[in-house]
Structure 1
Amino acid sequence: MKDQFTAMSREEVLSNEGRKELFNSHPLITGSVLLPTAPIREVATMARKSCLLRESGLVFIGKSGVGKSCALEMIESTLREQFPRVAIYRHDTHNQSIPSIRAFFKHFLATVGHHNVRGETFDLRAILVNSLIDSARLHGERMILLLVDEANAMDVTDFDFLKDVYNDLAQENVKLVTILIGQDPEFSQLFDKLIRMQRLDLIGRFAIRIVPFRAYRGSHDLEEIFEGIDNQIFPFGTGVTWTEFFFPLAYAAGFRLKNQVSSFLSSIETSKPAGLKLGSEIPARQMFSAVRSYLTDLALFDEPGMIVPEGAWEAAIEYAALTKAMAYMSARKGNTRIRT
């Protein structure tokens, strides 16, 4: 992806002035570039199959901080590339929503880019369905793919409204395929509510396959991420890698973030308070926060024979509250009900 700094030469980027100018725009700082991690690839593969076979009812659930919204963003990008003839929409469920039929359809109309929100509920529903039908025909496939973020904030009425839209589209020979992603255990509680109400019609259409979106686990996942940071280029066309940007001298002498994985993992153990039990899952949000802190702090020590200061990873882990997040994630694990 090109950026506004491609006119800068490699030497300009790696100068002290250039690095200061570019720091606030660096993708690792802004989060504007997503790394294709193993957990994201796993769910993207399942999402592709669901779209390919036109099968609805796929749900990804994960704990807070594992990178669910980032995963959905990459799933959306991948599916748009692989299925250019399919109309794809991303619907963000509001966590603080007012339950009303009109509010649902108005929110959905905003998702599909339709600004006509006047009229009675029946009119809004007709406008929405007709817009989706027109979009499916325009794209070429008689299919709508709906990606729903924060699905744990949905209510039974939301599923009922989706069922109405599903049926209305089916009458026009347009298939609605939904992929939901939500936080657990909240989504499991919603699923249990559907079971207690015996709403198999809704489960069959929208939640028949519930799949866990896992956190990072072990050195293999982290090596892939750290190596990705070592290889990503910014700015585009300069050949400057993300790691090199922070330590140009040490990088030229062979420093690589990938080689820091074992130190990072051992520092997690030494950083945790006495008696605190940690699981094996590492949340994405706090992990990347620790990496950003580590790279920023260590940049002050850049030199060809750079020696990493003792406690550098521990300080970064403490700043990111990583061990706290891991302990919290582990504590909630026993309450999580995952159905595959």
Structure 2
Amino acid sequence: MTTIEDNIDREAHLENHPVVSTHYTLITPMIAKVYSILRERVFSRHTGTFLYAKPRMGKTRCAETVRDLLTIEFPKKYILYHTADGNKSARLIRDLVSTVGLYKAPKESYGALMERFIIHVRAEVEFRGGGHFVFIVDENQLLSTEGWNELLVIHNRLEQRGISMTTLGFGQEEILENRHFLFGLGATNLVARFLCEPIRFEGCVSEVDFDSMLNEYDANKEFPLDSGCTYTNFFLPKAFAAGFRISKYSRLIWTELINVAGEDGPGELPLEHMFRVIEDILMRSRHMDCSEFKITDEIVRKAVDASLIVGYVSFMRQAPK
């Protein structure tokens, strides 16, 4: 029987494949765990919490996934995603007005910008009929003290108008230093509102987690959409038809990654680079596709080398603790 995936022109679709472009979302066990926590905070309308991680651990992917899942689960809430840029000369409110696509005059006052943003949020909330604004800010370690104060003003202004606001922050480990700094300034109101509940994000900390990730490529991630062709099937159709699954090589790939991590353990392995290893194996194996295909030690080693994960781990070991 001929299936949809049998008729796919793989060469025509190759350049646009998510594994090649790296534009895809994979819900890892850690992302699922984080979402289960954050969705409860949103449901309960907590004022704020934040997640922190080392660089390249998949924090931004997690933030974007949380945004998408909240949008689906809570259609009556207005959810806004913003990435802080660390420009100390700019005001947060000016950035937010740009983020939502509102026109701003070159010398428009802080008060005018704030009022227009508040009106925008009120309109979006009223349109959805939920009375709740969820603000997701990525790279929140880049917010200045003035930025945190502006965020507090937004919270207070919306509360006065009967609108709840929850801020979900995603940042690098420096955010913990920023929190300590705000304490030192006596800004306990800012810490209590936005930074009282730190959640540590670790990309992939066990072989079980890694096996779960690989299974997504074998069974759940499809391209083209609704074709029934999983990512593994796309790159290795003959091997896949003969029973090949990349998840069967979880131990082989994981062992090589743990050799890279050494005594520091898997928590030091950057998730973004781990994805690169998987992607490289699929793409590197494409020209070797046959019913007898197997992943070898050499294929894994070459993928690990190409991912640059060794250099990253070595560099991070030299970073100040």
Alignment counterpart, residue 264 of structure 1, candidates 237, 253, 261 = 253
Summarize the Cα distance change of 1:11–1:150 in structure 2 as closer, same or farther, 3 Å threshold: same
Q: Secondary structure at the match of 2:15?
A: helix
Partner of 1:237: 226
Partner of 1:279: 265
Q: How does 1:171-210 map to 2 (within 5 A)?
A: 171-184=160-173, 186-210=174-198
Amino acid at match of 2:66: I
Alignment counterpart, residue 162 of structure 1, candidates 151, 163, 184 = 151
CA contact (8 A) 2:210 2:254 kept: no
Summarize the Cα distance change of 1:117–1:87 in structure 2 as closer, same or farther, 3 Å threshold: farther
Summarize the Cα distance change of 1:149–1:270 in structure 2 as closer, same or farther, 3 Å threshold: closer
Question: 1:253, 1:144 → 2: CA distance?
Answer: 50
Alignment counterpart, residue 67 of structure 1, candidates 39, 58, 69 = 58
Summarize the Cα distance change of 1:183–1:327 in structure 2 as closer, same or farther, 3 Å threshold: same
Q: Secondary structure at the match of 2:168?
A: strand
Q: How does 1:239-258 map to 2 (within 5 A)?
A: 239-258=228-247
* Residue 323 (structure 1) shift: 2.9
1:21 aligns with 2:12: yes
Question: 2:249, 2:23 → 1: CA distance?
Answer: 24
Partner of 2:5: 10
Partner of 2:89: 99
Alignment counterpart, residue 298 of structure 2, candidates 298, 301, 311 = 311
Summarize the Cα distance change of 1:245–1:196 in structure 2 as closer, same or farther, 3 Å threshold: same
* 1:76-119 Cα shifts (integer Å, max 9, x gaps): 11111111111111111013x1434xx32221112233224463
Alignment counterpart, residue 275 of structure 2, candidates 274, 279, 288 = 288
Question: 1:310, 1:209 → 2: CA distance?
Answer: 43
Question: 2:179, 2:277 → 1: CA distance?
Answer: 34
Q: Secondary structure at the match of 2:169?
A: strand
Stretch of structure 1 that moved more, 76-85 or 107-116: 107-116
Question: 2:151, 2:118 → 1: CA distance?
Answer: 11
Amino acid at match of 2:178: L
1:46 aligns with 2:37: yes
1:322 aligns with 2:317: no
Q: Secondary structure at the match of 1:60?
A: strand
CA contact (8 A) 1:109 1:117 kept: no
- Cα RMSD between the aligned structures? 2.0
* Residue 120 (structure 1) shift: 2.0
Question: 2:311, 2:198 → 1: CA distance?
Answer: 28
Q: Could you tell me which runs of 5 or more consecutive residues in structure 2 were left unpaired when the two chains were aligned.
A: none
Aligned length: 316
Q: Secondary structure at the match of 1:311?
A: helix
Question: 1:75, 1:283 → 2: CA distance?
Answer: 19
Question: 2:258, 2:63 → 1: CA distance?
Answer: 31
Partner of 2:75: 84
Q: Secondary structure at the match of 1:25?
A: coil
Question: 2:95, 2:70 → 1: CA distance?
Answer: 23
Q: Could you tell me which runs of 5 or more consecutive residues in structure 1 were left unpaired when the two chains were aligned.
A: 1-7, 336-340
CA contact (8 A) 1:279 1:330 kept: no
Question: 1:197, 1:230 → 2: CA distance?
Answer: 52
CA contact (8 A) 1:234 1:241 kept: yes
Summarize the Cα distance change of 1:269–1:32 in structure 2 as closer, same or farther, 3 Å threshold: closer
Alignment counterpart, residue 138 of structure 2, candidates 149, 154, 170 = 149
* Residue 277 (structure 1) shift: 4.4
The normalised TM-score by structure 1 is 0.87
CA contact (8 A) 1:40 1:71 kept: yes
The normalised TM-score by structure 2 is 0.92
Amino acid at match of 2:236: F
* Residue 11 (structure 1) shift: 2.7
Alignment counterpart, residue 112 of structure 2, candidates 114, 123, 131 = 123
CA contact (8 A) 1:279 1:326 kept: no
* 1:251-286 Cα shifts (integer Å, max 9, x gaps): 1111101011110022235567xxx64422232110
Summarize the Cα distance change of 1:271–1:144 in structure 2 as closer, same or farther, 3 Å threshold: closer
* Residue 326 (structure 1) shift: 3.6
CA contact (8 A) 1:243 1:256 kept: yes
* Residue 239 (structure 1) shift: 1.8
Partner of 1:4: none
* Residue 331 (structure 1) shift: 5.9
